[in-house]
Amino acid sequence: MRHRFLLMLMLVGLLFITVACADAPQPERVMASQLTSVTPNVLKAKPTPPKIRVTPAPVISVPTALVDTLVYHGSESRKEVALTFDDGPDIIYTPKILSILSQFNLRATFFNIGQHVAAYPQIARAVYAAGHTIGNHSWNHPLLTAMGPLQVLWEMQYTNQVIQQTIGVKPVLMRPPYGAINRMVHIQIENSGLLPIMWNVDSEDWKRQGVTTIVQTTLKETKNGSIILMHDGGGDRSQTVSALPIIIQDLEQRGYTIVPMQQLLNHSADVQTNPVEPATTPTAQPYVKSAGD
């Protein structure tokens, strides 16, 4: 009798434990409930873009007469020239060039590579804050004439987007890498809202043949309205940094005024309309990536 009573107590106890466990919340269901309530907030969260505090550079406006053209230089009747720098921004050489330009109170145009803007946004902002113009030089410096129209369009528009997100202003000017351009490339540049700017004086600083050679080459070729090509990125530009103040001083001694690109565009004389195949022969070296690229 006692044995039967104990057995009954055990059965009742087991039944009670089973019912209690069934009523308890399951760990899996609790976790799922927690994830359901948290996940939507995570997915809806958006990063806050950093505030860009810079002094705006003058806004470039393209004269109507220059639409559908290539600009090689300004008016030959005016003793004005413009300095341009390609392949930056560079973390080493661009700040040095900015310092030199500041010493002479000059404004230049920097044709930036999109990848470098993304890598060194603080340098791009410094260029813009100093009052210089930033132009589009493609995303990664390819030979655009060897690409398809959609690829060229992507190079232009993505670089536009990155530059605008970095400095707050969409570029208006564009220089094709190596100076290589044909009708297809020209069309895609214009479809991106850009004006192609070429040059008629190549300092050949990319050859790195010495400071004296860079200075002599530049001064020999410069004339009224010249657009001078130099580089602040794409490799070792220490010779360019050393040559720049000499070039500036000599040009000023010869009576030239170094002006912003906008002023040169207002009096631009040498333009080529609707370039066709074959592509313009490139004059610059194969691109060399900057340190840290």
Just list the catalytic residues. 86, 231
∠ CA 151-197-225, nearest 5°, is 170
d(CA 194, CA 174): 6
Task: Check whether the bond before 286 is cis (ω within 30° of 0).
Answer: no
* Token pair belonging to 30: 């609790």
The label of the residue with tokens 């004296």 reads 212
CB 230 within 8 A of CB 87: no
d(CA 154, CA 169): 18
Q: Return the amino acid letter for 262.
A: Q
∠ CA 177-117-141, nearest 5°, is 20
CB 58 within 8 A of CB 262: yes
CB atoms within 10 A of CB 91: 16
Closest CA to 155 of 213, 113, 102: 113
d(CA 14, CA 7): 11
d(CA 48, CA 230): 37
∠ CA 279-225-246, nearest 5°, is 100
Residues 6+ apart with CB under 8 A from 150: none
